[in-house]
Amino acid sequence: MEVTYLTAINQALHEEMRRDESVFIMGEDVAELGGAFKVTEGLLDAFGENRVIDMPISESLIVGAGIGAAILGMRPVVEMQFSDFIACAFDQIVNTAATLRYRHGGRAACPLVIRSPSGAGVHGALFHSQNPEAWFTRVPGLKVVAPATPYDAKGLLKSAIRDGNPVLYFEHKRLYRSIKEDLPEGDFTVPIGVAELRQSGKDLSIITYGGTLNQCLDAARIVEKEDGLSVEVLDLRTLLPLDREAILATARKTGKVLIVHEDRVTGGIGGEVAAIIAENAFDSLDAPIRRVGAADTHLAFSPPMEEFILPNSNKIVEAIRSLAAY
């Protein structure tokens, strides 16, 4: 049966809460309303108000309470209603959750999941469109994942809930109801830290994740049909830790690399990926590493302006052709 990206997340939450009584949900409007996007719909009826908890509009409080519960042996899944407001809990995430195991010499754990609906393309403007994942990918002690398919959305969330470390789980809002996939019956997980090769190719490589994966696959199909180019597409899936072996393998195979993400180009995780390739596979490159991302500006409310700022399949096609011709 085909399920949406949103339903896959909802299924993972139901299954993990049934499997482990220490798993519970906290966030703004996650109980009575079922979440702003209906991701937590049905959980209150299934598990009751002690395990599905509506919280005040205070991200620092939500994450702080989650850290406390995790230290005491629970497995909280807390929701940032929009990833833009994760900045309000930056101190709790970076200075408390991320450092806890280190500060206690490995004798304490913080099994906390922070679900964070992110991304643009939904005309959410300044405060409901950001991709803040790169803020956290330089922090030891955290894990950061960004699924691009329903299968990965379900499997990575289940892995995150079972992990003994704080995991930031970025789910792209534009994908919630726009993509569907057949999911296998029974329990399955997707390993954190392992990239997935979505398409094999020989002429150049695209490295991407999250909301731009399908744009990259569309662009690859266009240039294959119109230009005869064979494009490899690697989906990172996990941004911390990065799958360095997969990144270097595709770079060495094709010799030309295009990195695509919806986050801004400056300071985005693409810069780190490019550095890994430049430092370890420079001799295999036949062209400079290229990046496609959002413009270095704030997200506009105007749909034409938002489209101008964001990456899309046409922009990726142009970058592929330019790189291939180098």
With both helix axes pointing from N to C terminus, report the angle between 244-254 and 269-280 in degrees, rounded to the nearest 10: 60
| Structure confidence at residue 66 (pLDDT) | 98
Q: Where in the chain is the domain with CATH 3.40.50.970?
A: 2-182
| Structure confidence at residue 250 (pLDDT) | 98
Alpha carbon distance 308, 239 (integer Å)? 26
Alpha carbon distance 253, 232 (integer Å)? 9
Q: Where in the chain is the domain with CATH 3.40.50.920?
A: 196-324
Alpha carbon distance 82, 60 (integer Å)? 14
Of 106, 132, 108, 136, nearest to 119 by C-alpha is 132
For the domain covering 196-324, report its CATH number. 3.40.50.920
Question: Which residue of the set 104, 123, 128, 172 is catalytic?
Answer: 128
CA distances from 240 to 9, 135, 140, 211, 237 (A): 20, 11, 9, 17, 9
Order of strands across the sheet that contains 238-240? 52-54, 23-27, 75-79, 113-118, 167-172, 143-145, 238-240
| Structure confidence at residue 273 (pLDDT) | 98
> Residue with structure tokens 């620092």?
60
| Structure confidence at residue 1 (pLDDT) | 77
Amino acid (1-letter code) at residue 296: D
- Residue ranges for the chain with pLDDT beneath 50: none
Alpha carbon distance 258, 326 (integer Å)? 12
With both helix axes pointing from N to C terminus, report the angle between 5-19 and 150-162 in degrees, rounded to the nearest 10: 30
Say whether 123 is catalytic. Answer: no
| Structure confidence at residue 301 (pLDDT) | 93
| Structure confidence at residue 193 (pLDDT) | 98
Fold classification of 2-182 is: Rossmann fold (3.40.50)
pTM score of the predicted model: 0.97
Pairing of strands 180-182, 231-235: unpaired
